[in-house]
Amino acid sequence: MIRVNLLPFRAARKSENVKRQVVVFLAAIVLFIFGCAFYAVFLMGQVADLETELAQAEADLVKYKKQAAEVDAILAEIAMLEKREATIEGLRRSRFDAVKLLDHLTQLISPPSSGVLAAKDQRVWLVALKSKTAERKQDLDIEGVAVDTKDVAAFMDRLENFTESPSGPSLAMAGDGAQPEIPYFSDVTLRKLSASDDSALLNFKQFNIHCQRIMPGAEDEDTAKKAPKKK
């Protein structure tokens, strides 16, 4: 009977399997190293791109900040010019407004039917006019003298019924059925009525009338504030 010794063959086969496993393991390590290197290069490229974008963004930010500063300077200059224009317009309006107020008071001294009064026919005289403006309203203190109390009452009636419309000032006397569009004076109050201190005017009456005058444009602003806002 022939006997075959298989031990050398098994040992060689086992050695070959070990070598194959070592080669596979080394190949896996090499592939892993190459993969890590490739991924590192990819990340470095992305970092470089991001750094380039960041540098460009910083450059744009500096440019836009400069442009924003120029825009702010222009807006500040425009605001200053608008403020100056509003101040000039306010001074111009105040100047003409004061002249118009004095003209209206001069007209109201006499009854509307008397026209231009001669000095001998005048029954009411203005002595002083004090005004104080606050919140688009003007407080007026009118001091003067009149022939008698009826003239003072008539003057107060004319103040209360004096109106101003787009067509011009008018006087709507009580009882004529006219409805004033825009009252020129309001809260007309007699604060003082006494005999004149002047020895030459002993029979005359000295008066002090307080009233308020709505400044031009105030009613439009109030109406705009009260109007419902459109959504």
Residue 171 pLDDT: 55
pLDDT in tens, 124-165: 999 999 988 776 788 999 999 998 999 999 999 999 888 875
What is the mean predicted confidence (pLDDT) over 24-33? Answer: 90
Predicted confidence at residue 122, as pLDDT, reads: 78
97 CB neighbour count, 10 Å cutoff? 16
Q: Which CATH code is given to the segment(s) 117-165+182-213?
A: 3.30.70
State the pLDDT at residue 117.
47
CB 173 within 8 A of CB 161: yes
pLDDT score, position 21: 85
Residue 145 contacts residue 169 (beta carbons within 8 Å): no
Decide if pLDDT at 166 tops 80.
no
* pLDDT for 173: 46
- CA 175, CA 155: separation in Å to the nearest integer? 16
Determine the pLDDT at residue 180: 43
Cα–Cα dist 182/220, whole Å: 11
- pLDDT grade, residue 90 (50/70/90)? confident
Q: How far is residue 109's CA from residue 124's CA, in Å, rounded to a whole number?
A: 6
Angstrom distances, CA of residue 81 to CA of 67, 87, 92, 217, 225: 21, 10, 16, 22, 26
pLDDT computed for residue 228 by the predictor = 53
Is the pLDDT at 179 greater than 60? The verdict is: no
- At 216, the pLDDT band (50, 70, 90 cuts) reads low
Contact at 8 Å (CB) between 105 and 171?
no
Give the domain ranges of the chain.
15-109, 117-165+182-213
Check residues 227 and 153 and name the one with the higher pLDDT. 153
